[in-house]
Amino acid sequence: MYMPSLDAPSDRPFPFVYFITIRNMSRMAVTLKARKWVVKQRNGEIIVVEGDGVVGQFPRLEPGGEFSYNSCHTIGQDSEATGAYFVEADDGRQFFVRIPVFLMELPNWV
C-alpha cells in the first residue's frame, strides 16, 4: 500500500507498507532467524535488504502457528519484491522459505 505520509530518502521517495502473515505448516516448531528481500525496480535496478529476524523480533512458530507484521520498502519507481525467510527448527536444521512476488505500483495520481 502506497503511504506518501511516511519518510523516504530522496533517491527512493515512494514508501510502500506491506502486511505479512507467516504460517508454520510443518510438523515442527521453527524460529525465524533472518530475512532477505530483493526489490527489482522497473529500470532493472535491484535493491537487496538482508537482516536478522523481522521487525526486531525472532518469532518462534509452533506447528500451525502464525506471526503477522507490517513493514516498509521505499522505491523510486514501480517495483516488485520477493525474497526468503530463513528459519531454524528446534533440532538445529535450517530451512529457507520463499516469499512470493508482490508488486508495488505507484498510483496514477503520483
Q: What is the pLDDT of residues 8-54, one digit of tens each?
A: 999 999 999 999 999 999 999 999 999 999 999 999 999 999 999 99
Predicted TM-score (pTM) of the model is: 0.89
What pLDDT is recorded for position 110? 86
Average pLDDT for 59-67: 98
Sequence length of the chain is 110
The range of the structural domain enclosing residue 78 comes to: 14-104
Radius of gyration of the chain (CA): 15
Task: Establish if 59 belongs to a structural domain.
Answer: yes
Report how many domains make up the chain: 1
Residue 7 inside a domain? The answer is: no
Contact 82, 100 (CB under 8 A): yes
Q: Is residue 63 part of a domain?
A: yes
Report if residue 33 sits inside a domain: yes
- Please report whether residue 5 resides in a domain: no
Residue 75 lies in a domain: yes
Report the SS3 class of residue 66.
strand
The reported pLDDT for the residue numbered 107 is 94
- What CATH number is attached to the domain comprising 75? 2.60.40.1470
